[in-house]
Amino acid sequence: MMNEAARQALSQTNFSTVDTIIVAVYLMLSLAIGLMVKRYAGSMENYIGAGRKVGTWLGIATMTGTELGLVTVMYSAQKGFTGGFAAFHVALIAGAGTLFVGLTGFVVGPLRQMEVLTIPEFYEKRFNKHVRVLGAVLLVLAGVMNMGLFLKVGSMFIIGMTGLASDGQTLQWVMIGLLVLVLVYTTLGGMISVVLTDYVQFAVLSFALLLVTGLSIRELGWQHIFDTVRHVHGDAGFDPTLEGTGFGWSYVFWMIIAVGFVGGAVWPTAVARALAMESVSSLRRQYCWSSISFAVRFLIPYFWGICALVFITASPAGRDLQVLFLPEDGSPPILENLYAMPVVLGRLLPPVLIGLVTAGMIAAFMSTHDSYFLTWSSVITQDIVAPLQRKPFPTESRVRLTRILIVLMGGYVLYWGLFYKGGEDIWDYMAVTGGIYFTGAFVVLMLGIYWKRTSTCGATLGLLSGLFMLLGLQPIQNAVGLRYVAANGEWVERLTSPQIGLLTVGLSIILTVVGSLLVPGSAATNASNEEANT
């Protein structure tokens, strides 16, 4: 619940009736696309892979559309707000990692050559059906937890930008409204509608991002932004290697794995785009170009978060916000810092532009949701239910089940958004929950493709070791004593989440290698490995 001062501050947005109309028209257009392409979504290949007919440029747009979501913008802005320019190292790592995947075809090239539709399908081709089901269960567990806070964060953006009266009830209703919208058009059109709406989103959002950034620099002053960050954060606002500031070397190494390699080569929503490409060469082109947007999806929102900090701490117009976000007397802030960026943009941007940005962001929100819903539900259908069926599982039943699962996941996301009580930054929550899957999958995919001797036993152990990552979640850290309150009343962490992430990756490598050496794979397994390498 918010107090009167917060409500008053939120109401000072430039969002007007014209902007409401812009948002409404844009959303109706998205729904129309979903309805228009419904007739092409009959087969499973079309429904979850757009018939593998996506060209390079559309592939770049859809990859960007998926990964540059509203949630990304929100959590990155939060990181920029709290960490300053030091957060930029994550953007640099994301771009370099994706470029590396594009230049080498690392992991995704062999996967596309094998013509699998999902990562667990690779597990079955390379190992056996049990590894496929296990990999899929872990993937869905991590993936669904990972998107647990999306709806809440997206709704907070809309409240911050539009100035909707912000109490508990409003947040819930905005969440429900957004959810219904996403569910309708994702269940209708599958991947084809996702790809097309991603394109529209790219066209609107890419120019809006640049325009808003330019406007923010003009309003706040280029050098003034850097000077204010130095004044507020000191060197920690620039140097990502400084320990004890929220970053440090273990954080940087964790980001190299989580963002550099996993974000492009192992994260299923990105891989789903790669596997929908018409050829391996267009896939690699897609990754090389997308490396720019993979960097930008962090870089520009970080910058917006930094601009919010500058506006609040060093601009007369933001004076009333300081008491809400960064009280000078050291008392707890009244508003969560996630609201900082949308509230400040709501004041900086003029009407019409604010409508376009809000519409683009809602579209970005929908495109991330639809991709995630579609990816996780199709993994359940294709990689858990179908392999366990004794009777044939016809296409219509698969598409129907996928649609039902999408609706069920929508219910879960609403529930989790309302009840999760962790206090970590949203980005750190996502890196940890995603890590349950990717720490194991990264190792098993990499070794499964490039190391002939990886066996079923090694793969099983490697995948299971990802569960160790659960210890990175704050409520679990508190429960097992990894995080506790010291005598002086401050929270102390025995192991930080990045350290747990690095340990989990190390454990997964050791278990996969030891398991493979102790229980080697069969001749059939090695033969399919050679197929993966060609």
- Residue whose CB is less far from another protein, 191 or 449: 191
Cβ atoms of residues 119 and 446 within 8 Å? no
- Residue whose CB is less far from another protein, 101 or 463: 101
Binding to another protein, residues 30-49 (CB under 8 A)? 37, 39-40, 42, 46
Q: Determine phi and psi for 389, rounding to 5 degrees.
A: -75, 135
| 51 binds another protein, rule: CB under 8 A | yes
Residue with tokens 């870089």: 299
Distance CA 75, CA 78 (A): 5
Distance CA 442, CA 434 (A): 11
Q: Tell me which amino acid residue 21 is.
A: I
Residue with tokens 């370099």: 96
- Residue whose CB is less far from another protein, 300 or 432: 300
Q: Report the SS3 class of residue 213.
A: helix
Part in contact with another protein (CB under 8 A); list of ranges 11-19, 59-67, 259-267, 388-396: 59-67
* Distances, alpha carbon 122 to alpha carbons 129, 133, 356, 516, in Å: 10, 11, 41, 18
Distance CA 142, CA 139 (A): 5
Element (H, E) at 110: helix 108-113
Kindly give the pairing relationship between strand 483-485 and strand 491-493: antiparallel
Part in contact with another protein (CB under 8 A); list of ranges 86-94, 100-108, 500-508, 516-524: 86-94
Rounded least distance, CB 100 to another protein, Å: 16
Distance CA 311, CA 329 (A): 19
Rounded least distance, CB 48 to another protein, Å: 14
Binding mask 208-247 for another protein (x = CB under 8 A): -xx--x------------x---x----x--xx--------
Cβ atoms of residues 229 and 84 within 8 Å? yes
- Residue whose CB is less far from another protein, 219 or 239: 239
Among 199, 254, 325, 427, contact with another protein (rule: CB under 8 A): 199
Rounded least distance, CB 30 to another protein, Å: 14
* Distances, alpha carbon 123 to alpha carbons 378, 435, 455, in Å: 16, 18, 11
Beta-carbon count within 10 A of 217 CB = 14
Beta-carbon count within 10 A of 524 CB = 9
Distance CA 475, CA 481 (A): 10
Binding to another protein, residues 89-128 (CB under 8 A)? 91-92, 95
Binding to another protein, residues 153-192 (CB under 8 A)? 192
Binding to another protein, residues 275-334 (CB under 8 A)? 289, 292-293, 295-296, 299-300, 303
- Residue whose CB is less far from another protein, 64 or 504: 64
Part in contact with another protein (CB under 8 A); list of ranges 13-21, 119-127, 201-209, 496-504: 201-209
Rounded least distance, CB 415 to another protein, Å: 36
Burial class for 329, CB neighbours closer than 10 Å (0-12, 13-18, 19+): exposed
Look at residues 238, 210, 308, 300 and name the one whose alpha carbon lies nearest to residue 87.
238
| 272 binds another protein, rule: CB under 8 A | no
Rounded least distance, CB 331 to another protein, Å: 31
Among 173, 207, 415, 491, contact with another protein (rule: CB under 8 A): 207
Residue 493, C-beta contacts closer than 8 angstroms, at least 6 positions apart: 477, 482, 483
Number of shown-chain residues binding another protein (CB under 8 A): 47
| 76 binds another protein, rule: CB under 8 A | no
- Residue whose CB is less far from another protein, 189 or 346: 189
How far is the first Cα of the chain from the last one, in angstroms, to the nearest whole number? 58
Rounded least distance, CB 255 to another protein, Å: 15
| 64 binds another protein, rule: CB under 8 A | yes
Rounded least distance, CB 313 to another protein, Å: 18
Q: Tell me which amino acid residue 240 is.
A: P
| 527 binds another protein, rule: CB under 8 A | no
Name the region of 455 (left: φ>0; alpha: ψ -120 to 50; beta: rest).
Answer: beta
- Residue whose CB is less far from another protein, 292 or 326: 292
Rg (alpha carbons) of the chain, rounded to whole number? 23
Rounded least distance, CB 58 to another protein, Å: 3
Among 2, 44, 48, 50, contact with another protein (rule: CB under 8 A): 50
Rounded least distance, CB 295 to another protein, Å: 5
Return the HEC string of 399-423. Answer: HHHHHHHHHHHHHHHHHHHHHCCCC
| 54 binds another protein, rule: CB under 8 A | yes
| 61 binds another protein, rule: CB under 8 A | yes
Rounded least distance, CB 256 to another protein, Å: 16
Among 203, 352, 408, 517, contact with another protein (rule: CB under 8 A): 203
Binding site for another protein (CB under 8 A): 37, 39-40, 42, 46, 50-51, 53-61, 64, 85-86, 88, 91-92, 95, 192, 195-196, 199, 202-203, 206-207, 209-210, 213, 226, 230, 235, 238-239, 289, 292-293, 295-296, 299-300, 303
